[in-house]
Amino acid sequence: MSDPVIRTHGLTKHYGKSRGIVGLDLEVDPGEIFGYLGPNGAGKTTTIRLLLDLIRPTEGRAEVFGLDSHGGGLAIRHRVGYLPGELRLYGSVSALELFSYFGHLRHRFDPADTARIAEALDLDTTREIRTLSHGNRQKVGLVQALMGRPEIVILDEPTQGLDPFVQQTFYRLLDEVRADGRTVFMSSHVLPEIERTCDRVAIVREGRLLAVERVADLKARAMRRLELRFAAPLPAGSFADVGGVRDVVVDGSTVTCTVAGPVAALFRAASAFDLVDVVSSEPGLEEIFLAYYGDAGDAAA
């Protein structure tokens, strides 16, 4: 196993009296897409800004490529592409001018690669940025983060403001990064996005790391709430003894329940009746924390 690309030791940041993050120990391996999941205010942006040396740790340290985030900051930033969570761009330049500016500051401006990514995202690079919509500005932010093939791409809530179609394009661009063997560290407060894109995920709440999981393991235990609608009312107690199914409520012809893991058993049982419709909803983050990490979560809080 090669050395981690990102490694933090007891990384802690306080803002005055308020908490940023506390005692974070994290390792991100080369070539993986690493998700950083947590509700808003969990300390995701704080962690990312520490990695980029925009802010300095109160205690502990962060290493990127084995270099200290502060002492080796310049060398690190030569190899990083970054999308801030609250993206603010220069209004008076075009996207193309911005890419050229940052490309030259990074000494690795690659107009062809930049144009290719901008085209994939269907971004008009000639317009002044102040005239662009929120979604298009987010695309500008993504292009400047991905252009020039940085060894690690650090993205803070990358899909906010993107429509679903553009999100799919973004996922394809991430697949490209993965195919190159490069590394992605991305934060999100949406579980499905992490499940769609990431190899591993760290889950943070209130400034503390709750768990690091393989996404595949998380999916195997994935919990979803299902609502099954049938043509006719069902007898009370239906599905109560189906494996992996919990919290069954039968209300006339509608059944709601929670399923952990595969849904095959439930659907086999349901096929005995006249099934009309199925509605599936992902549980919210708080519910996941409570379901998976109830005890740890309470301890952290």
Partner 1 sequence: MQLRSVLGKSIHDQWRAVLAWSLFAAVLPGIYVALYPALGTGSMMGTMQQFIDQMPEAFKALFAATGLDMSTAEGFLNIELFGFVGPLMLLAIGIALGASATAAEEESGTADLLLANPIRRSRVVAEKAAAVVLWTAVVAAAVWVGVSLATLVFGVQLRLDHVAVALVSLALLGIAFGGVALLVGAILARRMAAIAIATMLAVVAYFVNTLAPLVTGMAGWRVVSPFYWYIGNDPLRHGLEPAHVLALVAMAGCCLVAAAVVWERRDIHG
Task: Please identify which residue in 26, 42, 52, 255 interacts with partner 1, judged by CB under 8 A.
Answer: 52
Nearest partner of 35 among 215, 169, 174, judged by Cα: 215
Cβ proximity to partner 1, 189 vs 200, nearer residue: 189
- Site map 60..89 versus partner 1, x via CB under 8 A: --------------xx-xx-x-x-x-xxxx
Q: Which of 10, 25, 56, 252 binds partner 1 (CB under 8 A)?
A: 56
Which one among 14, 68, 93, 269 touches partner 1, defined by CB under 8 A? 93
CB of residue 49 to partner 1, shortest distance in Å: 6
In the list 1, 16, 17, 92, the residue contacting partner 1 (rule: CB under 8 A) is 92
Residue 51: Cβ-neighbour burial (10 angstroms; 0-12, 13-18, 19+): buried
If one asks whether residue 126 binds partner 1 (CB under 8 A), the answer comes out as: no
Binder among 67, 101, 160, 169 for partner 1 (CB under 8 A): 101
CA torsion 50→193→37→72, rounded to 10°?
Answer: -20
300: alpha, beta or left, given left = phi > 0 and alpha = psi -120 to 50? alpha
Count the residues in the chain.
301
Tell me the one-letter amino acid at 119: E
Using CB under 8 A as the binding rule, the residues of this chain from 18 to 47 that contact partner 1 are: 45
> In the structure encoding, which two tokens stand for residue 280, read together?
């599936």
Q: C-alpha 269: how far from its chain's center?
A: 35
Query: What's the CA gap between 29 and 188, in Å, rounded?
Result: 19
Residues binding partner 1 (CB under 8 A): 45, 49, 52-56, 74-75, 77-78, 80, 82, 84, 86-90, 92-93, 97-98, 100-102, 104-107, 141, 144
